[in-house]
């Protein structure tokens, strides 16, 4: 368009006088007049050239426009693809956001439920701790109180609000726990148990638990008032001791009574024989000798009881278990009375001792009483066999196994039933309806005194295995002395 305008201006100027005078001289005739034919031809040529140029320019412009349109279409397509991608991305992001929102809502709900459960659990645990029958105290690493339950409030007369966050020993100096014990439990990182007695009237079991793998270290102290339990246990122990001593006294009385009854019978016979006209000196001497033997037997029982009572309060001493057993066998021959015609001397004793047995730290008289009780019980069982062909025997075996000495005493008399085995080591209590002979016989068939000596005095074990048709075997396990015992 600019080119056409320029041509138009040029055409107009060509008709001006200045132009005709100066520029368009070739358009005049010789006489100076304008040759309009030239002007028309020239103008037409100019217009044709201008139009050609314009057409060419339009063609190039149209071609460029088509190219630009194609580029624009491509850009548009790219933009549409990008918009689609962005839309898909936004949709995906929106979907993910919705999923995240749902997950977040679910997590928030779960956290709320967890928080509620934790609060309920905390309330439940707090209620348990406060209602515990034990005194429970929590301390941090500085010895400041973090827990103080209801039992602690009752014993100390201090409510939890008054003591929380304060030093334990400044707040409650009467506590039977020392800072050194707390430090020991923390340094060793293990539970520490302390037994505390106050003037023998109050007894406490104190347990210190060190806290680890926690945000705040410290300890938990549990104080259990076991006074009533200890008193009850002491009463039971005393009752068992008294029943065991009663059992022993009843058996000893029987051991003394049998020879005394025989002595009285012999003396009555001698007295009757002396009143007769024809006196048999030999028969009287035999009766007197038998009475003398019975008297010595009763004296042996009394002497054995005296030795046992004198040595009961002594300290343990190292002794050879085989020597104790041999002496017990000899003592049984003198002490044990005749039972239904069976004398201990008539029983075959078989020994089987292992070599190089270690010495035991023990109360020798007490172990002798245990072996005597087992021999006495064996005699009762052997005396119940009425077969004349039966040979009563007792097998004694002593061996070493697993840091302990094992003693086995086996007899071939009447065995022990399952019901009798359950009562064998139980304390014997005399019945008010039973006679003295029945009580003494029942006491002789109980071994609670032997069980007390083995288990309580020597930290060993005693048990029995039996077959009614074969007999019974008593098993005794006596541990070796430890180093501290050996040094004492």
Tell me, what CATH number does 145's domain have?
3.30.450.20
- Indicate whether 486 pLDDT > 70: no
Cα 260 to chain centroid distance, Å, stands at: 59
What gap in Å lies between CA 126 and CA 184, rounded to an integer?
Answer: 28
Pair (207, 247) in one structural domain: no
Give the model's pLDDT for residue 439: 45
Same domain flag for 291 and 410 = yes
Residue-level pLDDT at 371: 92
Q: What is the mean pLDDT of residues 3-10?
A: 58
311 pLDDT more than 80: no
Looking at the structure, do residues 72 and 153 belong to the same domain, yes or no? Answer: no
Indicate whether 441 pLDDT > 60: no
Q: Show which of 225, 244, 271 is a domain's final residue.
A: 225
- Token pair 């320029």 is found at 6
Could you list the residue range(s) of the whole structural domain that residue 52 is in?
A: 2-125
Out of 53-67, 187-201, 376-390, 462-476, pick the least confident.
187-201
The answer, yes or no, to whether residue 459 has pLDDT greater than 50, is: yes
Are residues 377 and 341 located together in one domain of the fold?
Answer: yes
| Residue 111 and residue 213 in one domain | no
- Token pair listed for 209: 């638990």
Residues 182 and 120 in one domain: no
Instruction: Tell me: pLDDT of 420 over 80.
Output: yes
Give the domain CATH number at 243.
3.30.565.10
The residue with tokens 């709900």 is: 109
Mean pLDDT, residues 302-324: 73
Structure tokens given for 477: 């396990």
Total domains in the chain come to 3
Average pLDDT over residues 324-333: 88
In this structure, the answer to whether residues 240 and 139 fall within a common structural domain is no
Give yes or no: residues 44 and 191 share one domain.
no
Alpha carbons 345 and 379: distance in angstroms, whole number? 11
Q: Judging by beta carbons within 10 Å of its beta carbon (0-12, 13-18, 19+), is residue 10 exposed, middle or buried?
A: middle
Give which of 264, 374, 258 is closest to 325, Cα–Cα: 374
Confidence of residue 74 (pLDDT cuts 50, 70, 90): confident
Beta carbons within 8 Å of 20's beta carbon, 6+ residues apart? 14, 27, 28, 34
pLDDT confidence of residue 323: 93
With 0-12 CB in 10 A as exposed, 13-18 as middle and 19+ as buried, what is 422? exposed
Residue 350 has pLDDT above 90, yes or no: yes
Residues 480 and 375 in one domain: yes
Domain boundary among 204, 225, 246: 225
Same domain, 171 and 264: no
Burial class (CB in 10 A: 0-12, 13-18, 19+), 357: middle
Question: Quick one: how far is CA 35 from the chain centroid?
Answer: 134
Residue 297 has pLDDT above 70, yes or no: no
Give the lowest-confidence range in 18-27, 60-69, 166-175, 400-409.
18-27
Mean residue pLDDT across the chain: 78
Looking at beta carbons, which pairs linking 439-444 to residues 24 or more positions away fall under 8 Å?
439/250, 440/250, 440/251, 440/253, 440/254, 440/257, 441/254, 443/246, 443/247, 443/250, 443/251, 443/254, 444/250, 444/251, 444/254, 444/376, 444/377, 444/380
Q: Residue 282 above 70 pLDDT? A: yes
Q: What is the 3-state secondary structure (H, E, C) of the chain?
A: CHHHHHHHHHHHHCCCHHHHHHCCHHHECCCCCECHHHHHHHHHHHHHHHHHHHHHHHHHHHHHHHHHHHHHHHHHHHHHHHHHHHHHHHHHHHHHHHHHHHHHHHHHHHHHHHHHHHHHHHHHHHHHHHHCCCEEEEEECCCEEEEECHHHHHHHCCCHHHHCCCEHHHHCCCCCCCHHHHHHHHHHCCCEEEEEEECCCEEEEEEEEEECCCCCCEEEEEEEECHHHHHHHHHHHHHHHHHHHHHHHHHHHHHHHHHHHHHHHHHHHHHHHHCCCCCCHHHHHHHHHHHHHHHHHHHHHHHHHHHHHHHCCCCCEEECHHHHHHHHHHHHHHHCCCECCECHHHCEEEEEECCCCCCEEECHHHHHHHHHHHHHHHHHHHHCCCCCCCCCEEEEEEEECCCEEEEEEEECCCCCCHHHHHHHCCCCCCCCCCCHHHHHHHHHCCCHHHHHHHHHHHCCEEEEEEECCCEEEEEEEEECCCHHHHHC
Quick: pLDDT tens for 225-241: 777 777 776 676 666 66
End residue of a domain, out of 94, 125, 156: 125
Question: Both 202 and 156 in a single domain?
Answer: yes
pLDDT the model gives residue 5: 59
Q: Do 49 and 191 sit in the same domain of this protein?
A: no
Burial classification of residue 415, based on how many CB atoms lie within 10 Å of its CB (0-12 exposed, 13-18 middle, 19 or more buried): buried
């Amino acid at each position: 368009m600019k080119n056409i305008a320029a041509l138009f201006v040029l055409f107009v100027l060509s008709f001006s006088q200045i132009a005709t005078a100066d520029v368009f001289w070739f358009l005049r005739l010789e006489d100076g007049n304008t040759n309009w034919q030239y002007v028309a031809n020239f103008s037409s040529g100019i217009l044709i050239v201008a139009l050609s140029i314009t057409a060419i320019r339009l063609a190039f412009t149209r071609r460029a426009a088509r190219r630009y349109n194609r580029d624009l279409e491509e850009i548009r397509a790219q933009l549409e693809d990008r918009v689609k991608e962005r839309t898909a991305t936004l949709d995906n992001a929106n979907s993910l956001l919705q999923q995240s929102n749902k997950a977040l809502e679910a997590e928030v709900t779960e956290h709320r439920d967890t928080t509620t459960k934790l609060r309920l659990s905390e309330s439940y645990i707090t209620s348990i701790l406060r209602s515990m029958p034990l005194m429970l105290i929590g301390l941090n690493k500085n010895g400041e109180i973090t827990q103080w339950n209801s039992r602690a409030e009752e014993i100390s007369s201090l409510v939890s609000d008054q003591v929380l966050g304060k030093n334990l020993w400044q707040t409650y100096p009467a506590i039977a726990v020392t800072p050194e014990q707390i430090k020991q439990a923390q340094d060793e990182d293990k539970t520490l148990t302390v037994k505390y007695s106050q003037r023998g009237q109050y007894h406490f079991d104190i347990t210190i638990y060190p806290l680890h793998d926690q945000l705040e270290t410290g300890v938990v102290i549990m104080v259990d008032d076991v006074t009533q339990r200890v008193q009850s246990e002491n009463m039971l122990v005393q009752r068992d001791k008294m029943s065991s001593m009663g059992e022993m006294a009843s058996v000893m009385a029987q051991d003394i009574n049998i020879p005394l009854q025989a002595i009285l019978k012999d003396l009555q016979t001698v007295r009757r024989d002396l009143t007769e006209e024809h006196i048999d000196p030999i028969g009287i001497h035999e009766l007197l000798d038998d009475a003398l033997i019975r008297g010595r037997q009763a004296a042996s029982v009394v002497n054995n009881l005296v030795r046992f009572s004198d040595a009961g309060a002594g300290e343990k001493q190292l002794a050879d278990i085989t020597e104790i057993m041999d002496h017990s066998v000899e003592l049984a021959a003198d002490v044990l009375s005749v039972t239904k015609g069976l004398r201990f001397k008539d029983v075959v004793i078989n020994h089987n001792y292992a070599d190089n047995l270690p010495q035991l730290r023990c109360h020798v008289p007490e172990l002798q009483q245990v072996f005597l009780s087992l021999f006495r019980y064996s005699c009762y069982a052997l005396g119940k066999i009425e077969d004349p062909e039966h040979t009563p025997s007792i097998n004694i075996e002593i061996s070493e196994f697993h840091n302990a000495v094992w003693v086995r005493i086996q007899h071939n008399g009447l065995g022990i039933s399952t019901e009798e085995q359950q009562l064998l080591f139980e304390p014997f209590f005399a019945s008010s309806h039973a006679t003295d002979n029945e009580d003494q016989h029942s006491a002789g068939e109980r071994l609670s005194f032997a069980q007390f000596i083995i288990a309580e005095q020597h930290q060993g074990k005693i048990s029995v295995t039996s077959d009614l048709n074969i007999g019974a075997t008593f098993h005794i396990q006596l541990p070796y002395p430890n180093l501290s015992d050996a040094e004492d």
